[in-house]
Amino acid sequence: MKLTQKILILSTAILAASCASVSAPEGGPKDETPPTLVSSNPKDQQLNVSTKVITLTFDEEVQQNKLNSELLITPNTDNRYKVKNERNVLKLEFEKPLQENTTYTLNFRDGITDITEKNKAANLKLSFSTGAYIDSSKVSGTVVDLLTQKPQKEAIVALYPTTDTLSVRKNKPYYQTQTDAAGKFELTNIKEGQYRIYALADKNNNAFYDNEEEKIGYLEQPITITASTQPVTLELVKIDTKKPILNRRENYTDRFTANYNEGIKTFKATTVQAPSIKIASKIIQVGKAAELFKTAGYNGGKTILTAVDSAGNIAVDTLEIKFEGKRAQRIKGAQRKVVNTTSNENKAVGSMVVLELETPIAITGKEPVSILADTTVIRKLKYPEELKLDSTKTEVSFKMPSIDARNKRISLLLDSTAIKPIEGGPIKFVPIPITLAENGGVGSVKGTVDTKYKSYTIQLLGQDDKVVKQVTNLKTFDFKNISPGTYKIRVLIDENNNGKWEAGDPEFKRKPEKVYLYDKSLEVRANWEMEGVKLSF
């Protein structure tokens, strides 16, 4: 056979093979249609089911998508199963027969997709009974974050029968579901009875509460679930029962630094020998450390450190404090300390500016701080009329004065001849840039309180619900020197009048104390007093 004939025959064979093969068509619209369940065995709502195999048939080829973690079977069962998938049929094969006289609900969530574009079989649920009837009790409701009242999506809602010893801290729930994007949930086909109900922001995806970093919501009393149960609201909150841990110590000639494993809200230091001596200290590094300073009245010795976190957990440590080593240089010379951060760090006229120094200092001059426009001094600040030095001698603060510096770079310059360290050599200062708010001013928020409660904290919230300012137990309030922006008001209500707001009970026998959110956003403008805010709670 000639070579040309061989090539012709081979080309024909390749062409025929390519025509016979099946491949995805090129071009055309993208497949966005999710797979649809055509039939199942058992059928939805079927009674007297006796099988170890559940079969689902779809209108197209499907595949499992982390089905072992996505599939929620209620009531919870330890009956293991295998997943078998063949084209458009998916099977669950259980090791043991299903429990008798039980209504089962299988919620597949995002566990099944098609094989082309991985479109998810949406809202796929299957309910059936191994007995003569389907349980018809149900409960629905909403899960929100307690402190923000924002709906919480993908939170686990869990039911535990009061008749057994299952614990939300150790065991998966008997019944469970998940909230939707609006924080809504519904549990159906439940056996009528009394249950303990919880909501859980399940970070580690194990369906029970074993980590205090997770938020939990609960009712302090069991709920009776029937076919006409009233909707419930569950409020997520973080319950912190662990006291701060002192995990690192730093000794310097001018200070001692105590580093903790979490943020601390208050800190106090007293000497064992003379508890009445006032020790200069402050919290630093976003609340995770505290510093004690060497002063004329305090030179170390056996000292009691008391740190309290935001949940009220108290850590008490007794240490032998020594001021030794070298002088701390946590910052170079001085820097701006960000206080009351809102939507930006711009400083408006009348707002507070805090300068943090590297070591305790003494102010020996009358005008130790200058304001520069470009390189020209346009204003000098007087001490003590305009400048304040805190008790630790490490922070200088002042209110931003009105200046005319349009289109110029503004900075602050500290005078090294007028600001001297208490110990060690002189400090070198470089200009500290500062940005003025474009509107050139600040505003205020004034209001009144109408309440039956005696103890409460009013909080002004800025961006990301951070606390900008707060006051306690006032019938009238006035938040001054507020940078322009959008704010909210939240009130933490101390219902038991013990002087602190309690987030929750580790035993789940007492609900968190109440939180009130003012129902309007506040638009603060420069040089404007917002009045007439009325809080009723």
How does pLDDT run across 475-529, given as a tens digit for each residue?
Answer: 999 998 888 899 999 999 999 999 889 998 999 999 999 999 999 999 999 888 9
The pLDDT of residue 347 is 67
Question: Residue 377 above 60 pLDDT?
Answer: yes
Share of the chain above pLDDT 70, in %: 92
Q: Evaluate whether 330 touches 358 at the Cβ level (below 8 Å).
A: yes
Angle at 214 between CA 156 and CA 69, to 5 degrees: 45
Residues sharing a CB contact under 8 Å with residue 395, sequence separation 6 or more, in sequence order: 282, 337, 354, 355, 356, 357, 389
Angle at 376 between CA 371 and CA 380, to 5 degrees: 35
Give the Cα separation of 439 and 441 in Å (integer). 6
- List, as one string, the DSSP characters of 26-81: SSS----PPP-EEEEESPTTB-S---SEEEEEESS-EEESSHHHH-EEES-----E
Tell me whether strands 443-450 and 529-536 are parallel, antiparallel or unpaired: parallel
Q: Evaluate whether 398 touches 339 at the Cβ level (below 8 Å).
A: no
- Which tokens belong to 439? 């509107």
Give the Cα separation of 62 and 14 in Å (integer). 31
Residues sharing a CB contact under 8 Å with residue 22, sequence separation 6 or more, in sequence order: none
What is the four-CA torsion angle of 401, 407, 412, 417, rounded to 10 degrees?
-110
- Enumerate the β-bridge partners of residue 523: 486
Mean pLDDT of the chain: 89
Q: Which of 100, 104, 130 is nearest to 189 (CA)?
A: 104
For the chain, list the domains and their CATH numbers.
Answer: 37-129 (2.60.40.1220), 137-236 (2.60.40.1120), 246-321 (2.60.40), 334-434 (2.60.40.1220), 443-536 (2.60.40.10)
The pLDDT of residue 20 is 43
- Which tokens belong to 59? 């209108």
Q: Which of 348, 408, 415 is nearest to 378 (CA)?
A: 408
Residues sharing a CB contact under 8 Å with residue 378, sequence separation 6 or more, in sequence order: 371, 372, 403, 404, 405
Q: Evaluate whether 162 touches 222 at the Cβ level (below 8 Å).
A: yes
Q: Which of 389, 335, 333, 401 is nearest to 364 (CA)?
A: 389
Please classify residue 117 by burial: count the beta carbons closer than 10 Å to its beta carbon, then call 0-12 exposed, 13-18 middle and 19+ buried: exposed
Give the Cα separation of 434 and 345 in Å (integer). 9
Give the Cα separation of 89 and 166 in Å (integer). 36
- Which tokens belong to 75? 């009531």
How does pLDDT run across 433-490, given as a tens digit for each residue?
Answer: 988 765 557 889 999 999 999 999 999 999 889 999 999 999 999 998 888 899 999 9
Is residue 8 classed as helix, strand or coil in its secondary structure? helix
Share of the chain above pLDDT 90, in %: 69
What mean pLDDT do residues 25-31 have?
A: 66
Which stretch, 4-18, 320-334, 410-424, 444-458, has highest mean pLDDT?
444-458
Lowest mean pLDDT among 133-137, 213-217, 407-411, 456-460: 407-411
Confidence category of residue 211, pLDDT binned at 50, 70, 90? confident
Q: Which of 490, 493, 488 is nearest to 503 (CA)?
A: 493
Total-model pTM: 0.76
The pLDDT of residue 126 is 96
How does pLDDT run across 75-92, given as a tens digit for each residue?
Answer: 988 899 999 999 999 999
Q: Which of 332, 321, 337, 214 is nearest to 277 (CA)?
A: 321
Give the Cα separation of 168 and 95 in Å (integer). 26
Residues sharing a CB contact under 8 Å with residue 527, sequence separation 6 or more, in sequence order: 439, 440, 441, 442, 443
Question: Residue 14 above 80 pLDDT?
Answer: no
Angle at 345 between CA 341 and CA 348, to 5 degrees: 100
The pLDDT of residue 188 is 94
Residue by residue, what is the 3-state secondary structure of 219-284? CCCCEEECCCCCCEEEEEECCCCCCCCEEEEEECCCEEEEEECCCCCEEEEEECCCCCCCCCEEEE
H or E stretch at 11: helix 3-20
Give the Cα separation of 186 and 84 in Å (integer). 29
Q: Evaluate whether 153 touches 101 at the Cβ level (below 8 Å).
A: no
The pLDDT of residue 403 is 84
Give the Cα separation of 502 and 376 in Å (integer). 52
Q: Which residue has the tokens 């609340």?
A: 287
Give the Cα separation of 218 and 204 in Å (integer). 19
Confidence category of residue 348, pLDDT binned at 50, 70, 90? low
Question: Residue 15 above 80 pLDDT?
Answer: no
How does pLDDT run across 319-343, given as a tens digit for each residue?
Answer: 999 999 887 777 778 787 765 444 4
The pLDDT of residue 405 is 72
How does pLDDT run across 152-198, given as a tens digit for each residue?
Answer: 999 999 999 999 899 999 999 999 999 999 999 999 999 999 999 99
How does pLDDT run across 271-314, given as a tens digit for each residue?
Answer: 999 888 889 999 987 789 999 999 888 999 999 999 999 888 99
H or E stretch at 215: none
